[in-house]
Structure 1
Amino acid sequence: MATDIREIDTGTGFDRFARGWHCLGLAEDFRDGRPHAVDAFGTRLVVFADAGGELRVLDGYCRHMGADLGAGTLRDGRVACPFHGWQWDGGTGRCAVVPYAKRTPKLARTRTWHNAEINGQLLVWHDHEQDPPPPDLLPPAIDGFAEGRWSEWAWRSELITGSHCREIVDNNVDMAHFFYIHHAYPTYFKNVLDGQTATQLMHSKAREDIFGDSPYYHPDSLLRSEATYFGPAYMINWLHNDLGDGTTIEVVLTNAHYPVTQDSFVLQWGVAVAALPGAGPGQTRALARAFSAKFSEGFLEDVEVWRHKTRIDNPLLTEEDGPVYQQRRWYEQFYLDKSEVTADMTARYESEIDVRHARREWDAEIQRNLLERR
């Protein structure tokens, strides 16, 4: 019997959801005069705009008889249950009106969820200890977004089943998958873990065997990427696209997710392009949609892998695979009580991968692929 076989440890999984800010979608999509049901964190939420236009998030099931408030209506800025008409205030969580009753029960109160709008998106705070969010943990505003210096978001979302959302966070340190999934190869790759942030710094070039026939391909093009997770579920990725002809297009990508159950999550990504000299808003929006379509191809290839892979808690790594275990240790802090978070989970850690060997092998593979087509 062989004793040197590497067995896969699938682990025990998480028994709670991550503490932190989670993006539910574009804020304006919830301001259409009706309540919206959102399945998240193993339960159902209801999102709606109150009479003043402020977005509110409540538990989604009515405390009277358990009906779905997302199937209700809005009355005077409150969400009215479709079953018996009880009206729930989004700011206090209290039932303000029971239309057919002389008195509203004193105990008629539901849970309100802390939320915030940033970068045109609605974020909701989850904490299994039920503490409010510290002010310094809200993800930052994208410079110039509120002032209109970027296009509107080209937005996509995808429900992923059969996988935990840790899978997408692992990608932050996964240098090699960019060649096989995203059809580029890194020329520089570094990770920095620090406190509640996890950053990926990368320079990459498009694969000539994949994109060489495109009129937009240039051998001297370079993508300079700075991507940071602000907490466990919300990433901002600043992308500087040097086209090889002296032109640089500035793109920002938000890569966000929220858990539905312990083995499913909603992945969302949005692309915005900085205003270009001489280009009107329509041209900039079209460019954002084009970038989004290209990024979406890669995301959906990731999704296809996740849907068929197994959970693995003991991945077998090479030195070019990046600090997977260190980042997972960083990620673990969001699933523990705050009193249980240890210093090694939040301490600053830097790792730069030597990509020279990988580049030589990938260059050779690209040249073989090109020769086979001639």
Structure 2
Amino acid sequence: MTSTESELEQGARLTAVDTSADGGAVREIDTGTPPTRFARGWHCLGLLADFDDGKPHPVTVFGTKLVVWVADGELKILDAYCRHMGGDLSQGSIKDGNVACPFHDWRWKANGRCAGVPYAKRAPKLAKTRSWPGMIRNAQIFVYNDPEGNPPPDDVIIPELDELNSDQWTGWTWNKIVIEGSNCREIIDNVVDMAHFFYVHYSLPDYFKNVFEGETAAQYMNSHGRPDVDIMTAYGDTKLESIAAYYGPAYMLNPMVQYYGGYAIETILTNCHYPIDNNSFVLMYGVIAKIPEGLTADQADKMATKITAGIEVGFLQDVEIWKHKSRIDNPLLVEEDGPVYQLRRWYEQFYVDVADVTEEMTQRYEYEIDTTKAVENWNIEVQENIRLKAEREAANASTPETASAT
């Protein structure tokens, strides 16, 4: 498909009531309901370094609680509650690579089998708890969720960042935010949302394209900062070239090049999340940066920290919108809003059984937004804002002189 028209005609479910003064139809918002299941796929839980300390860690995800630990370089994930008497394994300890319950010291292996009961002659033969597939990649840890209980397929890949093995790049600068009262889909919608970069992030995009295929959804964007806004965000007053791609439902990698002050600053952003329940999620984001010539590793780390702080400003701007907006399953769109419905169809594949994934959800789809009209109007708005700001500054500057003259 190459046009948004069919999307607007077919995708929008219009509920109308003839109640307006002019007799026209009033469009009602279809809020729908959040999905009752959690997305199939890999979900990042955080940095490996935060879990690789010889201790069990609690993680509330997919509407349940897990215990996560690392032993002998291997990631291990189980249901958090001991199948003996319900003790919280995440409050226990690691013994011989197994997690030991703090209640009665029952030991559990990574495969979910009971490794032993210290005070008993033998462990129950059928004693088993739920084990979750895990993976270490990019100095991060991942858990795989499948409501059908299938193992992760070999062709579902999280790309590996070779940059993390290079002394020319920094390590991760990392942050996380808990988002309450909002479903994960809200953040996914941003993949196609060109206009919000101008109004929410104070960036002026002049090139914007989406490509969806298989389990990948990509956004290609070139932009520059708005000269009428002083707030520094990740998009700032630099020129930015960005390729952001989701690999599965919850993990995005975003190589960026920012041109500022004659320098080209190369960074890779990761933006990932996992659901706590159907109406809240943990949003995590981190940055690695290529060390520019002439900078020490320490200076580069400080640069990455500053860039991450700017990204946090951008995420908090989104969070403020999510906190107050309504869920909307029938958005009323214009052509420049991009392929919202196509993106949601792509995203739906992670919430249905594998047998129910359709070709429409995974087939290659490309759409480039014509930014001509948007950029034209935005530049007019920017110039008007600059003019008004200059008038205010001139008026403020003249106020003391007027006061002294009287």
TM-score, with length taken from structure 1: 0.95
C-alpha displacement at 1:62, in angstroms?
A: 0.8
The 5 Å alignment of 1:105-116 reads: 105-116=124-135
Q: Tell me, yes or no, if structure 1 residue 310 matches structure 2 residue 348.
A: no
1:262 to 278, 282, 295: 278
Q: Tell me, yes or no, if structure 1 residue 65 matches structure 2 residue 81.
A: no
The 5 Å alignment of 1:1-374 reads: 1-2=19-20, 3-50=24-71, 52-90=72-110, 92-211=111-230, 221-243=238-260, 245=262, 247-374=263-390
Across the two proteins, how many residue pairs are aligned to each other? 368
Deviation digits for residues 178-204 of structure 1, max 9, x if unmatched? Answer: 011111010100000111100000000
Runs of 5+ in structure 2 lacking a partner?
1-18, 391-406
Deviation digits for residues 17-54 of structure 1, max 9, x if unmatched? Answer: 0001100000111011211000000101111112x132
Paired with 1:217 and 1:97, the residues of 2 have a C-alpha distance of 57
Deviation digits for residues 335-361 of structure 1, max 9, x if unmatched? Answer: 000000110000100110011111111
Instruction: Tell me: CA distance 1:157–1:212, structure 2 relative to 1, closer, same or farther (3 Å).
Output: closer
Paired with 1:217 and 1:157, the residues of 2 have a C-alpha distance of 21
CA contact (8 A) 1:199 1:228 kept: yes
Instruction: Tell me: CA distance 1:68–1:320, structure 2 relative to 1, closer, same or farther (3 Å).
Output: same
- Greater shift after overlay, 256-265 or 274-283? 274-283
Paired with 1:213 and 1:259, the residues of 2 have a C-alpha distance of 29
Paired with 1:152 and 1:371, the residues of 2 have a C-alpha distance of 43
CA contact (8 A) 2:174 2:286 kept: yes
Paired with 2:277 and 2:77, the residues of 1 have a C-alpha distance of 19
Structure showing greater Rg = 2
C-alpha displacement at 1:87, in angstroms?
A: 1.0
- Greater shift after overlay, 140-149 or 68-77? 140-149
C-alpha displacement at 1:295, in angstroms?
A: 0.7
RMSD: 1.6
- Greater shift after overlay, 17-26 or 305-314? 305-314
- Greater shift after overlay, 164-173 or 128-137? 128-137
What amino acid maps onto 2:66 in structure 1? L
Instruction: Tell me: CA distance 1:254–1:212, structure 2 relative to 1, closer, same or farther (3 Å).
Output: closer
CA contact (8 A) 2:202 2:236 kept: no
Instruction: Tell me: CA distance 1:300–1:213, structure 2 relative to 1, closer, same or farther (3 Å).
Output: closer
- Greater shift after overlay, 93-102 or 17-26? 93-102
Query: What SS does structure 1 have at the residue aligned with 2:155?
Result: helix
Paired with 2:303 and 2:85, the residues of 1 have a C-alpha distance of 49
Paired with 1:160 and 1:176, the residues of 2 have a C-alpha distance of 23
C-alpha displacement at 1:244, in angstroms?
A: 5.4
CA contact (8 A) 1:260 1:266 kept: yes
- Greater shift after overlay, 229-238 or 147-156? 147-156
Paired with 2:203 and 2:236, the residues of 1 have a C-alpha distance of 12
Query: What SS does structure 2 have at the residue aligned with 1:278?
Result: coil
Paired with 1:17 and 1:330, the residues of 2 have a C-alpha distance of 15
Query: What SS does structure 2 have at the residue aligned with 1:209?
Result: coil
TM-score, with length taken from structure 2: 0.88
C-alpha displacement at 1:275, in angstroms?
A: 2.1
Query: What percent identity do the matched residue pairs reach?
Result: 53
